[in-house]
Structures are given as structure tokens and as C-alpha cells.
Amino acid sequence: MDLENQKRVKDLAEEHGPENIVVLLGAAEAEASGLAAETVTNGDPTYAGPLTGVSLGLKVYHVCEPEVKAEFDPQVYEDQISMMEMVLDVDEICSEMNSIREQYCKY
């Protein structure tokens, strides 16, 4: 997660309260999704950005997780995400996201 997005997430959590924020990711690889998820839950593991040492504990999901997918209009999901989903390892992404949530989410 780039430094600008870290700042945006931090500012939004401060403004609205971390219990009111849900971060939705769309990275193509489980490792990249996990790194971004860890950043918004436990703090920046690279020690480079505004979330270094900041444990927000935010709710975080990937767009391809079943509970998120169910919230979309099916036609919008089909048009915008389904092609990409066919080439992703959705099970690996879901596993990574579940692991991060179990370890670090507070809300």
C-alpha cells in the first residue's frame, strides 16, 4: 500500500472512527493483499509509511471474498470483476485475508 493511501486510511479512521471503516482490497495476489491488509490492521510492516507503528485494527476484505461478492449487484460484479477473478487464486487470497483478520482486526 503506497504512502498516500496509508495517509488517507489513517485520516479517515481518525475522522470517522476505526470501527466505522471497512477497507476493500483488490490486489491480484494473496501476498500483496495480505501486506495491504496487515498495513491497515497492524501497521506498516515495511516501516516506511504513515501507518508505521499504528495498529488501527480495521475491518479488511478482498473484493473476491464470498461475503463481499454477495454485496455487489451481480451484473456490476460480472462486468467489472469476474474476468479478473477467473485468473486469481481466490482460495489463497481468502485464506490470507482470513488469517490477517483473525490476527489483527479489532472490529
How confident is the model over 12-69, as pLDDT tens digits? 999 999 999 999 999 999 999 999 999 999 999 999 999 999 999 999 999 999 999 9
Number of domains in the chain: 1
pLDDT of residue 33: 97
The predicted structure's pLDDT at residue 31: 97
CB of 36 within 8 A of CB of 1? yes
> 13 to each of 44, 53, 69, 72, 81, how far by Cα in Å?
15, 15, 24, 24, 27
Rg (CA), the chain: 14
| Full domain range(s) for residue 92 | 3-104
Residue 22's beta-bridge partner residues?
59
| pLDDT confidence of residue 8 | 98
pLDDT value of residue 53:
96
Confidence at residue 67, expressed as pLDDT on a 0 to 100 scale? 96
The H-assigned helical ranges of 1-107 are: 3-16, 30-41, 66-69, 74-80, 82-85, 90-104
**Cell 461475503, residue?**
67
